[in-house]
Structure 1
Amino acid sequence: MKYLVRDRLLGIGDDYWIEDEQGHKAFFVDGKAMRLRETFELKDREGRVLIDIRAKVFSLRDAMTIERGGEALAVVRKKRFSLLRNHYRVRLVDGTELDVSGKILDREFVVEYEGEMLAHISRRWLRVRDTYGVDVVREEADPSLMIAIAVCVIRLAEKERLDGPVD
């Protein structure tokens, strides 16, 4: 299933809809302004919070946390030792690790688990400016989590581009 995400997802205070490939409203992004750290909620059509995304405040390396129901679900950060500049690691609380690699700033990358693709993020199949697609290719993969991972990785890559490498 493909989802269309506005490119400037992490603008503080931005609120908008993410649509499915048929153009139906699938998720609502509620950007929380006036907070000490970046905070966003990903909600379903009925307004229920599915995922909270927060920038980690006290961390040696930039990281973002993904929470569900007030409990940590995952931490996203740049992979420490990688020959690839655009390589990120998602560590789920159960110990599972997902790899994210590709051209992050170009919105051309994949999310994988043990070499198997879970989601493909791309602008290629879209004509809408400032929009990228999140194609959840594995049936058992959670679309809200894949969207949250894409958001976190893009935000971390953009922050590194603006601030310079952190490692």
Structure 2
Amino acid sequence: MRYLVRDRMFAFHEEAWIETEHREKVFKVDRKLLRLRTTFAFVDPWGQTAATIVRKAMTWHHTILIKHDGERLGKISRRLFRLFGDRFVVKLRDGRKLRINGNLWDREFDIQHRGTTLAHVSRRWFSLRDTYAVDVMEPADTTMLLVLAVCVDHILHEQRD
């Protein structure tokens, strides 16, 4: 299924909406302002927080924690030494390790587990409207894959500034 992340991070309220390809709102990504650490909340249309993204302060490389109800679900970090392009490593609570690689400069990348693509993120067709698509191939992990796509986009946006 295809999801569209409508990025409005430059607006005063700093929020982004994630919708299905049929324009149904799935999550609002709400940036918490006036905090020491960068924090985002994934809120469903009924107001329930599905996940929280917290950027760790004082790290050598970008590390973001993914939490739900105070419990850590995963950690995404940029590889310190990389030979070919940008890569991220994700360690999930259940022990799985995911890799994120591709052309991150153009925001064309895949989220993979053991060589199997779980999701493909593309800004190719949406570059003028601050929108990117997340094609989820593994519906059981939809929320986590959407969270990871937003994490990588945030890290890349922060890196460019």
Structure 1 residues 135 and 9 mapped into 2: Cα distance closer, same or farther (>3 Å)?
Answer: farther
CA deviations over 1:124-148 (Å, ceiling 9, x no partner): 34476210001111232x2221111
Q: Which has the higher contact order (CA 8 A, sep 6+)?
A: 1
Written as runs of structure 1 = structure 2, the 5 A alignment for 1:46-61 is 46-61=46-61
The two structures have a TM-score, normalised by structure 1, of 0.86
For 1:165, the equivalent position in structure 2 comes to: none
Given the superposition, is the C-alpha separation of residues 157 and 11 from structure 1 closer, same or farther in structure 2, using an over 3 Å criterion?
farther
| Gap runs ≥5 in structure 1 | 163-167
Match of 1:129 in 2: 129
Aligned partners of 1:10, 1:151: CA distance in 2, in Å? 15
Q: Residue 150 of structure 1 aligns to which amino acid in structure 2?
A: A
| Conservation of the 8 A alpha-carbon contact between 1:101 and 1:111 | yes
Q: What one-letter code is carried by the residue in structure 2 that aligns with 1:94? A: D
Q: Does 1:21 align with 2:21?
A: yes
Length-normalised TM-score, structure 2 = 0.89
Supply the RMSD in Å over aligned alpha carbons.
2.1
State the distance in 2 between where 1:124 and 1:22 align: 19
The aligned amino acid for 1:31 is: R
Q: Is the 8 A contact 1:66 1:73 kept in 2?
A: yes
Q: Contact (CA 8 Å) 1:12, 1:38: kept in 2 or not?
A: no
Structure 2 gap ranges (5+): none
**Pairing 1:156–2:155 present:** yes
